[in-house]
């Protein structure tokens, strides 16, 4: 965040590639910085459009809302 990285070596891209490779459809984080980083990383990756990046509070709320129906 505070220094320039080579585009192919950006942490957001590397972590997005790792997350996509797991096959997960949802990625949750409790860190606001990580949420922004992963959202940006997924946006530029093939397959990233298939992965929802959520704050853990959003994930818990969606689960609670779904279960209360």
Written as one string, the DSSP assignment of 14-68 is HHHHHHHHHT-SEEEES-HHHHHHHHHHHHTSTTGGG-EEEEHHHHHHHHHHHHT
Number of domains in the chain: 1
**Is 49 inside a domain boundary?**
yes
pTM: 0.77
Does the structure show a pLDDT above 60 at 33?
Answer: yes
Does the structure show a pLDDT above 80 at 4?
Answer: no
**Is 1 inside a domain boundary?**
no
In this prediction, residue 23 has a pLDDT band, given cuts at 50, 70 and 90, of very high
Domain of residue 18, residue span: 7-67
**Is 34 inside a domain boundary?**
yes
**Is 2 inside a domain boundary?**
no
């Amino acid at each position: 965040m505070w220094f320039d990285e080579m585009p192919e070596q950006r942490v957001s891209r590397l972590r997005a590639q790792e997350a996509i490779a797991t096959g997960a459809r949802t990625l949750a984080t409790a860190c606001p910085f990580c949420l922004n980083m992963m959202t940006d990383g997924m946006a530029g990756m093939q397959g990233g459009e298939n992965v929802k990046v959520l704050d853990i509070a959003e994930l818990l709320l969606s689960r609670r809302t779904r279960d209360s129906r």
